Amino acid sequence: MALVRTLSLRAATLLGVLLTVLVLLVVTLGASGFSDRILTAVINEEIRTLRTAQATQSRDPDALEAALDIRRGELIDFYDLNQAWWQRMPATVFRVITLDLGDARTIRSSEGSRQVSDIVLERLPNTVLLLTTSLMITAVIGMAVGVKMATRVGSRIDRIVSFGAAVSFALPAWWTGILLILLLSFNFNLLPSGGMYSTPPPEAGLARFFDLLKHAILPIITLVLVSVGPYLYSVRTMTLNVAQEDHVLVARAKGLGEGTVMRHHILRVAAPPIVTGLILSLVGSLGGSILVETVFNWNGMGRLYFEAVAGAPDEGLIVALTFIFTLLYVVARFTLEILYLLLDPRVRYA
């Protein structure tokens, strides 16, 4: 019962974080006047479009302006611009919490839907394929090489890999992507330079799926190159002290194989911080990489956020995406609380 009560308390705390982030976002958009400016711009654009469409059909300019004024008033009532921002805030927060994400004002899905949920569900699998795949590759390389480096501190291979990790950390993602496009796409013509499908795209089926994978290879390589160094060095640092502890020396003195020592005496003890970094990086990857997705013309979550902010800002989509990313973080944090109990027997909630 104590465990359930403690986990429930932590879940409630994380939900409080989620609500606080959402309220702060809505307050920032409202108090800064950003929300009012966005809504006013949306209304003005719709009135301008309506005036252009009706100008060729109406012979009475005064009647046209009167009709446009009526329509403007209807839009002001629809967007609640006749109320102060703080009066609109509770309704906005409630709609987002109940996952009533509403409609985007400037962005559409490939099917033409304006619903935020449809747009997000269309973009999310693209980001999962691209960024989560690269993260898994990075994690495997980082854990395999990082643990090995921790047992050979100061050796030649340790210095070489550390130098490579520093270079990887210093590589800008956009520059690496452009360089790979020049080398592998333009010079050697091995991989597509961007996009998600060929032109024209293959029909539905395995051909379409493999065409998608072919276009994903280059951005995945880019993300692995710029992320493997920092993660590898982080794993090395986390396992370095563990590899030098007495219980590891005793295990080697008993004649245990190096693989057994690494798995059961080094990785098991260092697992909680490693898993923490991996889970939080996985959640962060779902937010997308704006620069990489832009360079490779990849329609993912990161590029969606950029489109919602750039150009004509879409307030509803910005709030919805921020809520979704924060919700994923809260779920990941609560998952970690449970994983700690399984990975580290020293952790006990009382």
119, 104 contact by CB (below 8 A):
yes
Number of domains in the chain: 2
Q: How many CB atoms lie within 10 A of CB 348?
A: 11
Residues with Cβ within 8 Å of residue 10, at least 6 apart in sequence: 334, 337
For residue 312, the model assigns a pLDDT of 64
Residue 232 lies in a domain: yes
Query: Do residues 265 and 128 share a domain?
Result: yes
Give pLDDT tens digits for 198-256: 888 888 788 888 898 999 999 999 999 988 888 888 888 888 878 778 888 888 888 88
Query: Do residues 127 and 64 share a domain?
Result: no
CA separation for the pair 184, 211 (Å, rounded): 17
Q: What percent of the chain has pLDDT over 90?
A: 7
Query: Do residues 125 and 83 share a domain?
Result: no
For residue 243, the model assigns a pLDDT of 78
For residue 290, the model assigns a pLDDT of 81
Least confident window among 125-134, 193-202, 263-272: 263-272
Identify the sign of the CA torsion 251, 255, 260, 261. positive
Residue 255 lies in a domain: yes
Q: What mean pLDDT is predicted for residues 82-97? A: 78
Residues with Cβ within 8 Å of residue 311, at least 6 apart in sequence: 106
For residue 3, the model assigns a pLDDT of 67
Amino acid letter for position 72: R
Query: Do residues 263 and 126 share a domain?
Result: yes
Q: What percent of the chain has pLDDT over 70?
A: 94
Give pLDDT tens digits for 149-196: 877 778 888 888 888 888 888 888 889 999 999 999 999 889 998 888
Residue 146 lies in a domain: yes
- Which of the two residues, 88 and 121, has the higher pLDDT score? 121
Query: Do residues 209 and 249 share a domain?
Result: yes
- Which of the two residues, 309 and 172, has the higher pLDDT score? 172
Structural domain span for residue 63: 2-97
Q: What is the CATH number of the domain that holds 150?
A: 1.10.3720.10
Residue 341 sits at the vertex; the CA angle it makes with 339 and 343, to the nearest 5 degrees, is 65
128, pLDDT greater than 80: yes
- 261 token code pair: 């020592």
Give pLDDT tens digits for 64-79: 788 888 888 888 887 7
Least confident window among 33-37, 133-137, 159-163: 33-37
Q: What is the mean pLDDT of the chain?
A: 81
pTM metric for this prediction: 0.74
Query: Do residues 67 and 183 share a domain?
Result: no
Query: Do residues 89 and 209 share a domain?
Result: no
309, pLDDT greater than 70: yes
CA separation for the pair 21, 118 (Å, rounded): 23
120, 328 contact by CB (below 8 A):
no
For residue 103, the model assigns a pLDDT of 75
